[in-house]
Each structure stands twice: as C-alpha cells, then as structure tokens.
Amino acid sequence: MVRVALVTCADGPDVAEDRDLPVLVRALDEAGAEASAEVWDDGRVDWARFDLAVIRSTWDYSWRAAEFTAWAERCGGLTRLANPADVVRWNTDKRYLADLAAAGVPVVETRYLAPGDSVELPDGIEFVVKPASGAGARFAARYTPDEHDTAVRHVRRLHDDGFTAMVQPYVRAIDSGGERALQFFDGKLLHASRKGPVLAPGTPYDQRKTAHPGLTDWTPTADELAVADAALSAVPGEPELLYARVDLVDGDDGRPRVMELELVEPNLFLWLHPESLPVVAERIIEAASR
C-alpha cells in the first residue's frame, strides 16, 4: 500500500478553505492508498514515511516564500515531492512570466519593480499592481490613470515588506470573457473552468478578495490549448509535472495569453468537476508507485 501526503497549511484568517482536500483524502483511501493531509511547516511530520508528498493547498506560502522553498528542498530530499522542489522555487516567483515570454509564449505584459527601484507606473491606462510572490489576489489592486498616488503607496508597501511588485495593464477582456483555468494532471488535460473578474475598481489592495468568483465549467478552445501547451513546454529543465494549471485571458487582439502558470498549489476545483476526482486519485497513486 502506498502512503501519500497531501500537503496543506494551518488554518488561519487569511487562508481559504480547501474544499477538495478531505474529499481527495477519502478518494485515495478508497482507491487503496494510505492518505493523509499534512501541514507543510509542522515539524512533527516525518516526510520520509511517505512514498509521495503532493503539494495541494499551502496557501500561506506567498508571504513566507523563502521558508517554503527551503521546506520543499528538504522534503524533496526525503521523499518524492510533486511538483519537484526546483519547479517550486521557479514558480513561486512570478518573474517566471519573463522566462515564458522569452521562450515565445504569449503572456500578459509585465514590468517588475524590485525594492530600491524607482516607481514608474503606466500613463493613460488602467493597470494592476500585485506582488511577484502572491496567491488568491492577496495584495493586488486595480488602478485608474488618476489613482497613481495610491498605486505608488501600494508599491512602496510591497517594497517595505520585501516584495518585488508586478505592474500589468488591466486586461479589459476579463470583464467580458473572464479568466480560464486549464487543469492538467500527469501531462493530460483534466478539465477547465472559467471565472469572472477578481479585481473590482476601487477595492483596496489589502482587502481580502474572492479569488474565484462565478466559477463555471469551460470547454477550452484550440487556441487556448495551444498556448497552455507552449507554456508547459517552456518550463525550465523539462521536469515531470504531476499537476499544472494554466490561467488564460484574452489580449486586446482577442488571442489568449498566460496570466499565470500555477505549478505549486493550484486549486483543482474538484467540487465543480467531480468526474475528475477518480482520475486524480488514480494518477496520484500511479505516481506514488513509480
């Protein structure tokens, strides 16, 4: 019998509930594995006793990124970690979008402002500011051209907290076409979802947001699948990815481009796609048995 750890984080006021976690633990047990949910920074966990540790909902990592990536290195030295620690290190810093762009993948245009950089913001357009290490729209906000002073204070707050800031044009098509999340498991398309806009005008950056508003089932287009495939093919080192989520939006030209490539702890939305649950359980057990 294989032993599987589904890695999560401790409950807290800033941490969303993982609706999939108990359901997936039960599905793995019913499929013949010994599965348990384990908190990543719980020093009592013996990771070596597991055949596979699958990062699932470590949704506090973004404000503890250095600590989290160090844990991934340690855990990966004791058992098989999915996804691997080198992928975790690369993907926890959203400067990976620059790597994808350099590889020819269409991505949302992004500038990075590290602590110490002068704060230069776009003129004449709506834009978004968010941390380069972030999840669930935490510390993200949307600004109009006449809100520069507020946006500058936002960037400086991120810098004071040690974060690099990302600045992107607000992708207007999100308001009508939403954002699509294409889920892959063991290299194969699992399912896809569509959600509405997350960042409402005037919402303060430090206000908690609904990360996945209006989530519905989605059938990806051929163009979306092609962009997702290009993004996954551009991951450095061609690692074996157990899971991946490619978040896409439409650019001004109407063509899909990558908003985020989620390789660390993407929400799988199994509650919306229950037909995918046995597939995920089967592929996790297969990975643990390899």
pLDDT digits (tens, 9 = 90+) for 229-273: 999 999 999 899 999 999 999 999 999 999 999 999 999 999 999
**How far, rounded to the nearest angstrom, does the alpha carbon of residue 127 sit from its chain's CA centroid?**
21
Q: Please tell me what DSSP assigns to residue 221.
A: -
**Is pLDDT of 6 > 90?**
yes
pLDDT at 204: 81
Tell me the average pLDDT across 41-56: 98
**Rounded Cα–Cα distance for residues 86 and 89 (Å):** 5
What is the average pLDDT value for the chain, to the nearest integer?
94
**Is pLDDT of 136 > 90?**
no
pLDDT at 89: 97
pLDDT at 27: 98
User: Looking at per-residue confidence, does 180 or 198 come out higher?
Assistant: 180
**Rounded Cα–Cα distance for residues 275 and 278 (Å):** 7
Region of residue 186 (left: phi > 0; alpha: psi -120 to 50; beta: else): left
pLDDT at 160: 93
**Rounded Cα–Cα distance for residues 275 and 268 (Å):** 12
**Band of residue 219 on the pLDDT scale cut at 50, 70, 90:** very high
Please give, one letter per residue, the 3-state secondary structure of 80-103.
Answer: EEECCHHHHHHHCCCCHHHHHHHC
Percent of the chain with pLDDT over 70: 99
Question: Which tens digit of pLDDT belongs to each residue from 78-134?
Answer: 999 999 999 999 999 999 999 999 999 999 999 999 999 999 999 999 999 999 887
**Is pLDDT of 13 > 80?**
no
**Rounded Cα–Cα distance for residues 286 and 290 (Å):** 6
Its pTM stands at: 0.94
